[in-house]
Structure 1
Amino acid sequence: MINKIAIILLGFLLTTSINYAQKSSSKVGLSSLLISLEKTYDIKFSYSDDDIENIKIIAPQTGISLESLLSYLNDKTYLQFKTLDNKYVTVSFLNKTINICGNVLESQNLMPLALASIKVNGYNLGTTSNTNGSFYLQNVPVKSVINISYIGFKNLEISAKELFLNANCKQLYLEESSEILSEITMQKFLTSGLQKSADGSTILNTEKFGILPGLIEPDILKTIKILPGVESVNESISNINVRGGTNDQNLMLWDGIKMYHAGHFFGLISAYNPYLTKKVTVTKNGTSSVFSDGVSSTINMETSNRITNKFSGGAGFNLISADAFVQIPIKDNLELHVSGRRSFTDFLNTPTYTNYFNRSFQDNSIASNSVNNAESKFFFYDYSFKILYDLNYNHAIRANFIHIKNNLDYLEQYTNNNNSIEENSNLKQENLGARINWEANWNSKFTTNLSAFISDYRINSSDYNKDTDQFQTQFNNVLETAVKLNTVYEFSDFFYLTNGFVFNEIGVKNTTSINAPTFSKTIKEVLLKSAFYSEIEYKKNNTYARVGFRANYFDKFQKFIFEPRINIRQKLNETYSLKLEGEFKNQTTAQKIDFEDNFLGIEKRRWILSDNDRTPIITSKQASFGISYTKNKLYADITGFYKVVNGISTANQGFYNNTQNFSSIGNYKTKGIEFLINKQTNTISTWLSYTLAENNYTFGVFNPKKFANSLDITHSLSTAFNYNFTKNLKASIGGILRSGRPYTKPVDGNETLQNGDKTIVNYDNPNTENLDNFFRIDVSGSYNFTFSEAIKATIRLGFTNITDRKNTIDSYYIVDESQENNVRRIDNYSLPFTPNLSFRVRF
């Protein structure tokens, strides 16, 4: 079947090439054609050689009348042919208008530039490029000049006749400007593929990705952890902590779809294939009013939106999984992008898999027992596809789908109090998402985008204990749909007005059932909310400003929340720039952490929905101010921030203390300073990042009411050194040193207490102790080589924790009567020394 498809595709490509070649070969130069026509029709053409230079057209049919001939020539060229007395024909521009088109691309990576400004100099005529960078404009004076501009790029001027719509539209390449907003927009930040955008957000361009310590791929969520203020206290990318926030406070978007699942292998690998995800934008503060949710950060992932009309793709593998992606042109205006990845961990064990597995299963149901035998079957996969269809030059439709899944079957036999116990657990976790959007460029000033998405997340867990014949299940499902209309109006080259409306529905279902004793509980919540947002954006020379608001209405609660946003950046001189950011945000979903029914401890989190009572709407207020320095490829930035998040619950903080099962509403306040310095040369990029922060809870149920946040990392220091030996050979080494996270110890001398007929740990005041400092050094290297002009490859090696340091990332206590004080401390450790390797081919 595969061979047949390949033969069909090959035949299609050969036929297309032959047809194109035949068409191309039938074109002739206009100058030689006119000489031939003069003999055939016994006429004389009067023209300037410069006017007809380099013009080629398909020769007209023979035997047609002179009137039909001139009509044909007028239609197929931007010139005007006019007969005087059926003997002489003048060839001129006069006041003729033509239709033009083009494709605006970045000169370096050939990515399309959407909403580039296309204007006809001296005329009230213009348009903007669509999502593919394409534009089309009618009735343009043939002698006019077209000005093409885009913020951060050099303007391009080109004559209208060079863009004449007669065959294929011309590719127009804009070069990045080193002058416009040069101190605000960094084209290379830390490593190639990382950039600073005009609004201060960090952009990861996976196509340009260079190298980072320990990484063998441009793993989206692992990469952003190098940014100051971004931590992962338990080393998991499913637990990204931005400025002291929990992981569920990050808004995760994939092509406009809100995602509720971030990681494969229970957080050790990003769930999003980086080789089809072209651009990732990370915003910590000053978020655009276009986005809601995510009181700590917004992580916006975008796939390629450009129709390339070129068959291309890539494939590769590492020591955990293999993947492939392909871009398939179907028609000139229709293209399909497909990607897929699957682990081979269910039939092949590698050293990387063994370390990942042991790391994930430290905190499981048999942590305190003697294991006799264990069998596991684990695998994950993800796939996505995207359909790109251009109705015409001003209207484009995009439809995309993604499916992410983890599957685990675990059979264990262990000894507990001299009893042999057999237990079987199963866990299935997946997220499906789909979206369709229609982008329309109505004129050179006004653009709209109408979209709708659905996101379906579910986790299904079961556990069977053969000794007690007890079977228990847990099910968590989030179903979200949204419809959104976004409009952009360009007042001028410097002012842009964005408005939009969103209608959103979220449903969350949680089910727990046990057969012995018989118990079943189902909780389902549905929330309708709508929002209107508006913001104005100003970009000129040394100033960038974006000011807006978002008005949210919650139908069930009849509640209104108003959220102002601000983001200002001002270049003071050639070296220094200032930035000011502020935002109000809210979110209605959070994750509850289960302690009792933890199913091996590998996935304890369940999504819940706000009820405006026991689970209120989470709100945040944040402000930050900073100054940056740029000179001679030396970049330094220092930023102070202050954030308050209200409406958090004890249920989603993961407390290990006497009130861990109580429900109480509180807040956390975090403040700190982020510092980054980065020096680059042609072969070296080295940086040092430091964050000093203080993060405290306030909960009325505790004594004392104010205490350290479980995510409080007072000091965090990271550094790295990248070196390019050659254009193709690169290496990177880096280290992380940070304070240990807070934890709670039992009361000294009174470690346990009775709670009815059950003995529990008697914890002391919460989070008064700190784990030992975390320290890790990672190394990686990459080499690019070429099989042919069309096929290129990359091999990468990565080594995590090369010193094999045993870092404690979490600690808690359990009751153990065999111990002298009846409690035993359980420590969770980070990854030990772990190698990994990847090999990729691109075509």
Structure 2
Amino acid sequence: MAFNKWLVFLLICCSCICFGQNSTKKKSLTALIFSLEKQFNIKFSYAVEDVANIAIERPNTSFTLQETIDYLNSKTLLNFKALDDRYVTISVLNKTISVCGIVSDEKKSRLVGASVFVNNSGRSTITDGNGTFKLQNIPIHATLTISYVGFESKQFSPNELFSAQNNCKEIVLTTKNEELNQVLIPIYLTSGLQKYLDGSTVLNTKKFGILPGLIEPDILQSVQALPGVESTNESIANINVRGGTNDQNLVVWDNIKMYHSGHFFGLISPYNPNLTNKVIVSKNGTSAEYSDGVSSTINMYTKDAISNTFSGGAGINSISADAFLEIPITKKLELHISGRRSLTDLVKSPTYAKYFDRSFQDTEINADSDQHDTSSDFYFYDYTAKLLFDLNEKHQFRANIIGINNALDYSERRINTTQTQSKTSNLSQRNIGYGGNWKAQWNSKLSSEFITYFSRYNIDAIDYRIETDQRLTEANEVLETGAKINTNYKKNDHLNFLFGYQFNETGMLNQTTVSAPFFSSTKKDVLLNHALFSEVEYNKNNTYLRVGLRLNYFQKFEKFLVEPRINIRQKLSDQFALKLEGEFKNQSTTQIVDFEDDFLGVEKRRWVLVNDKDIPIATSKQGSFGVEFNKNKLNIEATAFYKMVDGITASNQGFYNRFQYETANGSYTAKGLEFLANKTARQYSVWVSYTFSTNDYTFDTFTPSTFPNNVDIRHSVSLGFYYDIRKNLKISVGGIWRNGQPYTKPIEGNETVQNGNNTLVNYDSPNSENLDNFMRLDASLNYNFNLSESIRASLTAGVMNITNQDNEINRYYRINPNDKNDAIQVDNKSLGLTPNISFRVNF
């Protein structure tokens, strides 16, 4: 009996709790109106669309009719008015209202750079350094979507974000449960840079803040802010990741492999960032889905969702102008296009002059002469287009095209006492890619993606001497076709399986032709590769694990290569975590340096295919172990790495020493420590990174057989500071200091040596000297403002090398044409003080 009393009492308490909860739960205004009509025996007169998206708490049932009307007027932007005892009218007070919100994650950390869209209007904004946004004159029937990478998007009506007391609504976004690869650090160095659990770094160009010296989120410039990523000659076409060469980076744009990496022959990224949604940089522990690129993988993805909103933007800076558009065609079909072209052949800005001198120093284009007249026209352009088609919720189709082009026309007329010499030269460098993919979600657990692409790279040069009627032509062409199918099986929210197959056919051509006397050399190669890959990804509580295996088959050589991959992150506490990564990778394409005057001396590298003999398949083995600390937005990382790459050739290292013309195969071993400390707050971010590494070649047929790598940079330090001076005004200042690049000097007193009819520089021990330390200080300033309610503008100024530091980035020697016993020292310089400015509008 006592038990029954307690049971009755418990049921009553539960009923009271449930009633209390239900009584405070918000109810749609439409349903409430029906209820009030029955309660007071009245009729409401209103337009359905005026009340359709409004939800409020039910008024107290003890209220009189007038008290109920007063309550409704205080809680909505509607005017409730009793005409008599029978009828009540509802009208809209304001057609537009102002809204305000503060966006944070589940841990109450503010999300800076979250996107806020007014659907179907073209209007949008992003949250500021406090995670706050404000929009004025929003139609009350509109819908607002708030999104952030790695989080579930949320939609609101303007009424839900309106406060008569001007208090911004707290909005909490939850992490996407279906994504195993969750965001670990939302703001990494600056807004728009994030770090994922698998150790990869993600650049979200739409939400990108500002980095020192940059005026826009230049993709390949931005990744150099990461520890372990260098460019010994300042060129984005020569990014060295953990001691690797530039051709050892796999660069993929929307699943299309790219072979071209720099406008202005290396100083500007050729990938327009305005339609790029995110860039993922992996230095180790890469997914088994990818091979090639034994040093790193740089994956660029454009926006992949149909927004049904017409939007776009345009910008201009001291070098180029660009524009992009997102064009809805139907609810299921959308077109994204972008284009950029340099202004360098129209306007010679101070920035252009600095870039020109840097790019063409020590080339035919900028050669010294006592008396000569020269003229040159240089320009570049790029374009992209993407067609998005959603057949239904389960099937999506995408088609892409990207085109990149650099062109140089040069003429020279030399006059001396006996004759006039004239020449004309042309140089063209292009990469065009086509891609398509089909994503299918067969059920809640099984999905697949079919990818296909074609990439074509060409570099062509013509050097014509008019007085001798001699024409030199050079060509390097790459044709690659690829197909891949990925199948994902999601067992649950914590466990995912990947299975896939990839096929690649790569063809390359290298050609040199001289007209008088006639000489021609043409070499063509084709290689077919097959690969099967599989991996499992697990993420639960404090453990993240990704283990994969890739089996590669080279049809031409009848050769198999097995590549295991591992990526583990174990959280020890709320602050500390351990990280272990490892991978085997291979590479079947490489670049070689043929002659100093290849392609007018502007571009000295040619793509070639491996032949498994004098050019073997390059293979890498890499492991790293790290410790992470994260508390109160202070992130500290320390990672030790060891990497060995075998199968490199002397011809692709660009030696300026006694091995310059030798043919040999070897390896290099890079090992070191990377350190990063980054503190972020609402208005600022400050960071310091340090990399210590040793990097040595081993060529068994050389003497000495082991010597420092060309990119052996022992110590490298970078500092950066980002600060929101006010809501729309940002500044970023940073600097780089590193050891100088190794070089080889001639033997003093015996600087040249005779080899048959040729006189060569008599080099000393390879890479036994170092250039002076490299140091550079950069700064950027950004101001955002609104030109109208729907048009946003930004003005950004940047200065590279503020102190105009005279940095040497390369040194080699050549024979003095006036004295065969003397070797002339040639120094290549970095950019001097280089200002740039950008103005952009977005709508």
TM-score normalised by structure 1 residue count: 0.80
Q: 1:199 to 1:817 in 2, by over 3 A?
A: same
1:367-516 correspondence runs (5 A) = 367=367, 369-370=369-370, 372-414=372-414, 421-516=421-516
Separation (CA, whole Å) in 1 of partners of 2:389 and 2:840: 29
Post-superposition offset of 1:269: 0.2
Q: State the Cα distance separating 1:758 from its structure 2 match.
A: 2.1
Supply the distance in 1 between the matched residues of 2:33 and 2:636 (Cα, whole angstroms). 62
**SS of residue matched to 2:726:** coil
CA distance in 2, matches of 1:213, 1:411: 37
Once the two structures are superposed, what CA deviation does each residue of 1:801-835 show, in whole Å capped at 9, x if it has no partner? 01111100001111114469521111000001010
2:574 partner SS: coil
Output the CA distance in 1 between the equivalents of 2:369 and 2:477: 32
1:734-773 map, 5 Å: 734-773=734-773
CA contact (8 A) 1:183 1:575 kept: no
Tell me if structure 2 keeps the 8 A contact 1:743–1:770.
yes
User: 2:594 is aligned with what amino acid?
Assistant: D
Measure how far apart 1:493 and its partner are.
1.4
Matched, 1:269 2:268: yes
In structure 2, what is the Cα distance between the partners aligned to 1:34 and 1:574?
50
Equivalence for 1:553: 553
Offset of residue 658 of structure 1: 2.5
2:214 is paired with a residue whose SS is: coil
Match of 1:797 in 2: 797
- The separation in 1 between residues aligned to 2:673 and 2:257, in whole angstroms, is 30
1:720 and 1:182 map into 2 onto residues whose CA distance is 28
Aligned match of 2:83: none
Aligned residue identity for 1:476: N
1: CA distance between counterparts of 2:450 and 2:546? Answer: 22
When normalised by structure 2's length, the TM-score is 0.80
Counterpart residue number, 2:356: 357
CA displacement at 1:312 relative to structure 2: 0.3
The amino acid across from 1:559 in the alignment is K
Amino acid at match of 1:375: S
Encode CA deviations 1:343-385: one digit per residue, 9 max, x unaligned.
0111110000011001111121364644622210010000010
Task: Specify the code of the residue in structure 2 equivalent to 1:499.
Answer: F
Change beyond 3 A, Cα 1:32–1:735? closer
Give 1:295 shift. 0.2
Q: Any conservation in 2 of the 1:397–1:437 contact (CA below 8 Å)?
A: yes
Query: Structure 1 pair 836/761, CA: closer, same or farther in 2 (3 Å)?
Result: same
Pair 520,627 (structure 1): closer, same or farther in 2 beyond 3 Å: same
Q: Is the 8 A contact 1:184 1:569 kept in 2?
A: no
Secondary structure class of the residue paired with 2:745: coil
Q: Cα–Cα, structure 1 residues 685 and 110, in superposed 2: closer, same or farther, change >3 Å? A: closer
Q: 1:579 to 1:157 in 2, by over 3 A?
A: farther
**Aligned residue for 2:535?**
535
Alpha-carbon distance change, 55 to 325 in structure 1, aligned in 2, over 3 angstroms: closer
- After superposition, where does 1:65-464 map in structure 2 within 5 Å? 109-110=114-115, 153=151, 175-177=173-175, 185-365=184-364, 367=367, 369-370=369-370, 372-414=372-414, 421-464=421-464
The answer for the alignment partner of 1:568 in structure 2 is 568
Q: Distance in 1 between matches of 2:149 and 2:226?
A: 25
Give SS of 1:790's match: coil
Distance 1:283 1:761 in 2: 40
The unaligned stretches of length 5 or more in structure 1 are 1-27, 37-52, 57-104, 113-148, 159-172
Equivalent-residue separation in structure 2 for 1:257 and 1:419 (angstroms): 51
- Contact kept, 8 Å, 2:759 with 2:820, in 1: the verdict is no
Name the CA shift for 1:157/1:414 in 2 (closer, same or farther; >3 Å): closer
**1:592 counterpart = 2:592:** yes
Q: Taking structure 1 as reference, are residues 407 and 738 closer, same or farther at Cα in structure 2, changes over 3 Å only?
A: same
Instruction: Note if contact 1:371-1:412 (Cα within 8 Å) is conserved in structure 2.
Output: no
CA contact (8 A) 1:183 1:574 kept: no
Aligned positions of 1:801-840 closer than 5 A:
801-818=801-818, 822-840=822-840
* Cα deviation, residue 703, structure 1: 1.3
- The aligned residue for residue 674 of structure 1 is 674
Structure 1 counterpart of 2:307, which letter?
Answer: T
SS of equivalent to 1:393: coil
Structure 2: tracts of 5 or more residues without a match: 1-28, 38-50, 55-103, 106-110, 118-146, 157-170
Alpha-carbon distance between aligned partners in 2 of 1:151 and 1:773, rounded to the nearest angstrom = 39
Residue 424 of structure 1 deviates from its aligned partner by: 2.0
1 CA distance for matches of 2:418 and 2:187? 61
Alignment map for 1:711-730 (pairs within 5 Å): 711-730=711-730
Q: What is the aligned partner in structure 1 of residue 136 from structure 2? A: none
Give the CA deviation at 1:150: 12
Q: 1:35 to 1:550 in 2, by over 3 A?
A: same
Residues 809, 827 of structure 2: 8 Å contact kept: yes
Contact 1:259 1:455 in 2 (8 A): yes
CA distance in 2, matches of 1:558, 1:793: 57
Distance 1:111 1:752 in 2: 67
Letter in 1 for 2:491: F
Q: CA deviation at 1:153?
A: 4.5
Whether 1:631 aligns to 2:634 is no
Query: CA 1:419/1:200 → structure 2, altered by over 3 Å: closer, same or farther?
Result: farther
Deviations 1:240-282 (A, max 9, x none): 0000000000000000000000110000000000111110000
- C-alpha contact 2:810 2:827 (8 A) present in aligned 1: yes
Equivalent AA in structure 2 for residue 716 of structure 1: S
Checking the alignment, whether the CA contact within 8 Å between 2:488 and 2:496 is kept in structure 1 is yes
Output the CA distance in 2 between the equivalents of 1:154 and 1:377.
Answer: 50
Distance 1:252 1:418, change over 3 A: farther
1:530 is matched by which residue type in structure 2? H
Secondary structure class of the residue paired with 1:725: strand
> Deviation per CA, 1:500-538, whole angstroms, max 9, x where unpaired?
001110001111100122110111000011000000000
Is the Cα contact below 8 Å between 1:363 and 1:600 reproduced in 2?
no
Residue 599 of structure 1 deviates from its aligned partner by: 3.2
Pair 1:775-2:775 in alignment: yes
Change (3 A) 1:776 1:415: farther
Q: Is the Cα–Cα contact under 8 Å of residues 150 and 182 in structure 2 kept in the other structure? A: no
CA distance in 2, matches of 1:415, 1:592: 36
Distance 2:740 2:356 in 1: 24
Find the aligned partners of 1:469 and 1:597 in 2 and give their Cα distance: 19
Superposed CA offset, 1:531-587 (max 9, x none): 000000001121111001100000000000000000001111011111000000001
Q: Deviations over 1:417-449 (max 9, x none)?
A: 997543322110100101111100000000000
- 8 Å Cα contact 1:181/1:541 also seen in 2: no
Q: 1:813 to 1:388 in 2, by over 3 A?
A: same
Distance 1:408 1:544 in 2: 50
Q: Distance in 1 between matches of 2:371 and 2:645?
A: 43
